[in-house]
Structure 1
Amino acid sequence: MMVSHADLPIASSTEQKAHGRLKSKTFAPENRQKAATITSLSIFGTPSDQECQPIPVVPRSSSNDELRVWRVTSAGLVEVDAKTMGAFLDKPKTDKTNVHGEGNGIKYGMSSMQGWRICMEDSHIAEAIMSQSSPYKDWSFFAVFDGHAGHHIANRASSQLLEHLITSDEFRQMTKALEENNGTLTDSTLKLLETGIKKGFLSFDEISKSSEINKSGCTAVCAIVTPTHIIIGNLGDSRAVVAGKNDVFGTEDHKPYLEKERKRIEDAGGSVMIQRINGSLAVSRAFGDYEYKDDPRLPADQQLVSPEPDVYIMKRNIENDEFMVVACDGIYDVMSNEELADFVRDRLVVHDDLREVEKYF
């Protein structure tokens, strides 16, 4: 629960109605005195659930209440320092940073905006030529990292993830195999690519764990574009969308309420409340967020938050493929995959220059 001092409600009470329906009452800013006296919160579930015991609100001693944040813990609702969660500015920073380039027959444009956060928490990679060595000189690599609770892990991912992929044992084996078959990606080399991406993500997250990354985390979505294939690795709720004349493909978000994600979370001793892990984190897979990865009995991919990506492999179709969008959830919160594809396509018809298209985002 996050509340702005300026113009948002600062508290609410909830009552149970028949058939599990809930009724809530909101305290507006002018009733701040009344809301400040709240000492507990009761949570109700479906009709089959028992009413939970009231959860105590544990206050934090601070004179700064411009942003008030509570975390659900076993002790109750604990007010935490907004800085650890990624505090907000009074006004959003709307200046955009744009990066453009081309290579290997691909034109790309990237745009980012800080928005309400006190610092830029997101980062990206755009390498039209993935590396100067074979086979990577004919490949391209693009990635977006959507940070939360700070910028540390997102910045580190943008500077180091690609190296972790290329130096994995599987990528080395794949490179050797491609040298022997004139660079043709076969089922076996594609499998090495898939495994290498997963292990590269895991090794990056493990090595970063030993350094001072604070409590920040980030989602990650990356795309390797070869002359014949598009290989996508996705971690969290950023998304890659590949638009074609006849279809639109999009990666699947990792949300705690999804069945396979919920099962892992509950097996690790956690819970899903208000569609979040332990009522706090809104994504179920991410880099960083090490406070959710501290069970020594469990491997990395079975922790509350997993750093293992889903990998998608698609064969390129020159007759059908139009463009690809790699973006964080700020885009997908307001557009479906199909709406985004139509939005970009309509503007590409008018503007051949990607810099003009970016202005509409």
Structure 2
Amino acid sequence: MSLRFTESPNARSKSITTADGIDTFGILNQHSTGNAAYQVGISEDVGTRRYMEDAHSFVVDYAGVRGQGFFAIFDGHAGKHAAEWCGAHFHEYLLDALRTSSSATIPGLVDKRISRLSEESDGKIHSGCTVVTAFLRIEDADGRQSFLPTPPLSPPSPTESGSRSGSESPTEPTEDSKEMCKKAKSKSPASASRFARALKSLSGSSPTLTSSPTALPAIRSPTPPASTETHTLPINPPQSSRRVLYTANAGDARGVLCRAGRAVRLTYDHKGSDKQEAKRITDAGGFVMSGRVNGVLAVTRSLGDSSMKEYVVGSPYTTETELGSDDEFVILACDGLWDITGDQGAIDLVRHISDAQAAAETLVKHALERQTNDNVTVLVVRFKALGSSEFV
């Protein structure tokens, strides 16, 4: 894969287009005019910053299944390159990891590739990015996809079964939020555990708070995966299928679900001000000063940042949530929004807006009007009831 970046210091995401019909054939950032499962809206603004270092991506009918979707936001720092590269290629690495039985992890591959960017640029590229990503998967009641003619995943071993999502607690949750999160998070079915493990491997670190980057599985090959674009029509799952939203984040990019009008945080803010994160860093030999790792970086987890990888790991917080009739939409956004408004405030601001694009634009405008001092990127996914053209 050739490494091509424009001379502009601004991150560039692939242009958003709309398919002529219902099928997008896996093309990145392409809307479907007949998407009966959800609606996607994306809005971004440079804000008061000199350059735009955010990137975004989404794929309709992801992995060749009608109604599935991939959504992500990458918030760059120290340059655009990590965020821009992830925006263009992260979905490919995730799909490759989901379809193979290799022990190589997504972040292991992604981090290694970003490190190579730095090496090949003679030190000119040394950026990193926080990330929030969501994978909407259509599956059977037991977590499998028996409707596929050839299941893309090998059966899990006994050691892969029974994993739990939500192993860490959201930052400063309210009592209501705690209760809602308990209801949102469920045990992973045996065959779905691979998805949780794939998402947990955003940077190659193990998923616990006390993990160390030295716990990385061996990366068998740095060869990049093939494009996710295909000319094959997606498979239509049965109406009895369930929808599960797998989410993961590293850093302070955040995902919030609207469930019957109440905000349910699906992510965890990894910041230097977090006591558990600060302890992990000091235990590794680093320090936190004024809320910054080694006095430099405000986030404690990210992709890239190869010069600080001993302390700034990429092990993400993950959740899996079975969606029901009460689940209306999900907001993915960088800290340019969350520094301005809380979870419930964001939900209340756009719940009455049925159009996902208008909702995303409203949230960005809200952040700008309240003087956010960062780039702002917001992605809204508004769900439709299965088998219905109406939004939840």
For Structure 1 versus Structure 2, the TM-score category normalised by the shorter chain is: 0.5 to 0.7
Aligned partners of 2:338 and 2:329: how far apart in 1? 17
From 325, 335, 344, the equivalent of 1:338 is: 344
CA drift at 1:247: 3.4
Counterpart mapping for 1:30-49 below 5 A: none
Asked whether the 8 Å contact 2:261–2:347 carries over to 1, the reply is no
1:67-113 C-alpha deviation (Å, 9 max, x unpaired):
xxxxxxxxxxxxxxxxxxxx99xxxxxxxx98773435111110111
Amino acid at match of 2:107: F
**Are 2:258 and 2:328, in contact at CA under 8 Å, matched by a contact in 1?**
yes
Which residue number corresponds to residue 260 of structure 2? 245
Specify the SS of the correspondent of 2:63. Answer: coil
- Residue 38 of structure 2 corresponds to which residue in structure 1? 106
- Match of 2:277? 261
* Structure 2 equivalent of residue 328 of structure 1: 334
Contact kept, 8 Å, 1:148 with 1:217, in 2: the verdict is yes
Provide, for residues 189-228 of structure 1, a one-character-per-residue CA deviation record: whole Å limited to 9, x for no partner: xxxxxx98xx212321122212237121110110001232
- Please say if residues 250 and 317 of structure 2, whose CA atoms lie closer than 8 Å, have aligned partners that are also in contact: yes
The offset of 1:163, in angstroms, is: 1.4
1:231 to 246, 258, 268: 246
Q: CA deviation at 1:115?
A: 2.2
Q: Is the 8 A contact 1:98 1:109 kept in 2?
A: no
213, 219, 231: which one aligns with 2:130: 219
The amino acid of 1:325's aligned partner reads I
Residue 294 of structure 2 corresponds to residue 278 of structure 1: yes
| Higher CA-based Rg | 1
CA distance in 2, matches of 1:335, 1:309: 23
Is 2:69–2:137's contact at 8 Å kept on the other side of the alignment? Answer: yes
In structure 1, C-alpha distance between the alignment counterparts of 2:361 and 2:133, rounded to whole Å? 23
Q: Equivalents in 1 of 2:47, 2:17: separation in Å?
A: 18
8 Å contact 2:55–2:87 — kept in the other structure? yes
One-letter amino acid matched to 2:127: S
TM-score (norm 2): 0.54
Paired residues of 1:216 and 1:289 also in contact (CA < 8 A)? yes
Task: Measure, in 2, the Cα distance between the counterparts of 1:257 and 1:356.
Answer: 34
- Which structure is higher in RCO with an 8 Å CA cutoff and minimum separation 6? 2
Structure 2 vs 1, CA of residues 248 and 355 (structure 1 numbering), >3 Å: closer, same or farther? closer
One-letter amino acid of the structure 2 residue matched with residue 247 of structure 1: R
SS in 2 for 1:356: helix
Give the secondary structure class of the aligned counterpart of 1:154: helix
1:119 Cα deviation from its structure 2 partner = 2.7
Q: Which runs of 4+ in 1 moved over 2 A?
A: 97-104, 115-119, 170-174, 352-361
Residue equivalent to 2:5:
none
TM-score normalised by L of structure 1: 0.58
Whether 2:72 is the aligned partner of 1:140: answer no
Gaps of 5+ in 2: 1-8, 19-30, 139-242, 365-392
Match of 1:309 among 311, 316, 319: 316
| 1:327, distance to aligned residue in structure 2 (A) | 0.5
**Cα-to-partner distance string for 1:267-313 (whole Å, 9 max, x where unaligned):** 221101101101110000011111102xxxxxxxxx21001211111
Q: C-alpha root-mean-square deviation of aligned residues, in Å?
A: 2.5
The secondary structure found in structure 2 opposite 1:304 is coil
1:17 — aligned with what? Answer: none
Matches within 5 A, 1:150-169: 150-168=79-97
Distance 1:137 1:131, change over 3 A: farther
Is residue 206 of structure 1 aligned with residue 112 of structure 2? yes
The residue matched to 1:226 in structure 2 has which SS?
Answer: strand
After superposition, residues 25-64 of structure 1 pair within 5 angstroms as none
Name the CA distance, whole Å, in 2 between partners of 1:149 and 1:116.
Answer: 16
One-letter amino acid matched to 1:220: V
Residues 139 and 225, structure 1, Cα contact 8 Å, conserved in 2: yes
Q: Which amino acid aligns with 1:165?
A: L
Match of residue 127, structure 1, among 49, 56, 59 = 59
Sequence identity of aligned pairs in percent? 31
- How many residues align structurally? 227
1:205 aligned counterpart, secondary structure: helix
